[in-house]
């Protein structure tokens, strides 16, 4: 079936605006990750969900960042009062299980956020 999808693919926001980025994981995938990838850098972990439970949010850079996965499928990453340093590609990944040695992460195409 379809892989991980993300929307919108591109988002331009004025500084101070709120944005919401959506991730549709592969159906039945338990684990869901959000990453932030700045230009020229590798993906940086933001947060992890196991079903609807947010088990790790240690990578969220500030309290302006908030993620949810209320029914254990679709997830939304919300950024309030966007700043220029939030400009990046936001990647979502899902995996069938919880053990990385057994279940690989499948990545979405990313949402490129530009804050002007």
Partner 1 sequence: AQRVTQPEKLLSVFKGAPVELKCNYSYSGSPELFWYVQYSRQRLQLLLRHISRESIKGFTADLNKGETSFHLKKPFAQEEDSAMYYCALKGTSGTYKYIFGTGTRLKVLA
* Residues found near partner 1 in the complex (CB under 8 A): 3-4, 31, 33, 35, 40-45, 48, 50, 55-56, 58-59, 91, 93, 100-101, 104-110
Shortest distance, CB of residue 110 to partner 1, whole angstroms?
8
Task: Select from 87, 91, 115 the least CA-distant residue to 23.
Answer: 91
Q: Which is nearer to partner 1, 27 or 58 (CB)?
A: 58
The end-to-end CA distance of the chain, in Å, is: 37
DSSP string, 73-107: S-EEEEESS--GGG-EEEEEEEESSS-TTTS--EE
Q: Which is nearer to partner 1, 66 or 107 (CB)?
A: 107
Q: How far apart are CA 12 and CA 17, in angstroms?
A: 10
Q: How far apart are CA 57 and CA 67, in angstroms?
A: 9
Q: Which is nearer to partner 1, 25 or 108 (CB)?
A: 108
Helix (H, G, I), strand (E, B) or coil at 31: strand
Q: Which is nearer to partner 1, 45 or 66 (CB)?
A: 45
Shortest distance, CB of residue 30 to partner 1, whole angstroms?
12
Shortest distance, CB of residue 17 to partner 1, whole angstroms?
27
Shortest distance, CB of residue 116 to partner 1, whole angstroms?
25
């Amino acid at each position: 079936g379809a892989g991980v999808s993300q929307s919108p693919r591109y988002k331009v926001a004025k500084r101070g605006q709120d944005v919401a980025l959506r991730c549709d994981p592969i159906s039945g995938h338990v684990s869901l990750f959000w990453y932030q990838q700045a230009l020229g850098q590798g993906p940086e972990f933001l947060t992890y969900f196991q079903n609807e439970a947010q088990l790790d949010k240690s990578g969220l850079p500030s309290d302006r960042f908030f993620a949810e996965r209320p029914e254990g499928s679709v997830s939304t990453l919300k950024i309030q009062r966007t700043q220029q340093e939030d400009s990046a590609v936001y990647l979502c990944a899902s995996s069938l299980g919880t053990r990385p040695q057994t279940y690989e992460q499948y990545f979405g195409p990313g949402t490129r956020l530009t804050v002007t």
